[in-house]
Amino acid sequence: MLDIDPTGILVRYNVKLESELSSDEVARELFPTDIMLRNIVEAVFEGDEDEVIVALKDAIKAGKDPISLIDDALMVGMGIVSQLYDEGLLFLPDVIIASHAMSDGIEHCKQISGKNHECKGTVVSYVVEGDIHDIGKKILTVLLKSNGYEVIDLGSDVPTDQVISAVLKHKPIMLTGTSLMTTTMYSFMEVNARLLENDIRIPFVCGGGAVTQDFVMNYELGIYCEDAAIVPKIADLILKNKSIEELREQFHVH
């Protein structure tokens, strides 16, 4: 959701936090003991899309329920990846590769079972009209999906009318908007006003290169976030009925 300083990205890509154990060693300590589940989790962690499908087929053949494998193995593997990313032991490309493997696995399980997996909640995400910079939004989408959320990705250069229509249609728990330029970020206030006109009071998480906390505090639904990795944590707290004021208290700089 947020456009990140390229220098920060390079630092994140090339500098790991000091640890006595490698990321692989830390991950293996977290893998489940059930060999069928462990093979799937390991394949997700490695980002091996083909091996994920092989491991899933083996587990299903052994009697595992396909839909249960989504929560018990695929999401577990992705959760380990997200945890190690937060701890600085993995980098963003690792998360993206693993998320693709997880997504392939979820689709396979859904096809085999003929059922849909119940996600934690829906989030609508977009880049403001007049802005085509979407790297931050893409990062956000990957992180939310890897944490069990469905993301309605509207893309970049999205008009306010389209944003409101998507919110009315999909009824998300949260809306996220990204703006890199000061000339485009003022549309956040228009979106906020339109949401209130429609009696929609969901948290509106905003960020991007030009966006500041002081600016976001000017509108009722706004929550400022400068790090895409925090957004799934915000979503988790929304599911626990945390108010906008409580989210601001926890995530804003005081």
| Residue-level pLDDT at 22 | 85
| Residue-level pLDDT at 96 | 86
Q: What region does 203 belong to: left with phi over 0, alpha with psi -120 to 50, or beta?
A: beta
Under a CB-based contact definition with an 8 Å cutoff, are residues 248 and 222 in contact?
Answer: no
Q: Is the pTM of this model over 0.85?
A: no
Percent with pLDDT over 70 in the chain = 92
Query: pLDDT of 60-91, one tens digit each?
Result: 999 999 989 998 999 899 889 988 887 889 98
Query: pLDDT of 189-224, one tens digit each?
Result: 999 999 999 999 999 999 988 899 999 999 999 999
Phi/psi of residue 205, each to 5°?
A: -85, 125
Is the pLDDT at 95 greater than 90? The verdict is: no
Query: pLDDT of 133-146, one tens digit each?
Result: 887 888 888 888 87
Average pLDDT, rounded, for the chain: 88
Q: How far apart are the two ends of the chain, measured CA to CA in Å?
A: 22
Domains (range + CATH), the chain = 9-113 (1.10.1240.10), 121-251 (3.40.50.280)
| Residue-level pLDDT at 20 | 67
Question: Closest by alpha carbon to 102, among 162, 153, 144?
Answer: 144
| Residue-level pLDDT at 134 | 81
Distance CA 207, CA 213 (A): 9
Is the pLDDT at 4 greater than 80? The verdict is: no
Q: What region does 148 belong to: left with phi over 0, alpha with psi -120 to 50, or beta?
A: left
Is the pLDDT at 45 greater than 60? The verdict is: yes
Distance CA 139, CA 150 (A): 14
List all residues 6 or more positions away from 78 whose beta carbon is below 8 Å from its beta carbon.
Answer: 44, 98, 99, 102, 146, 147
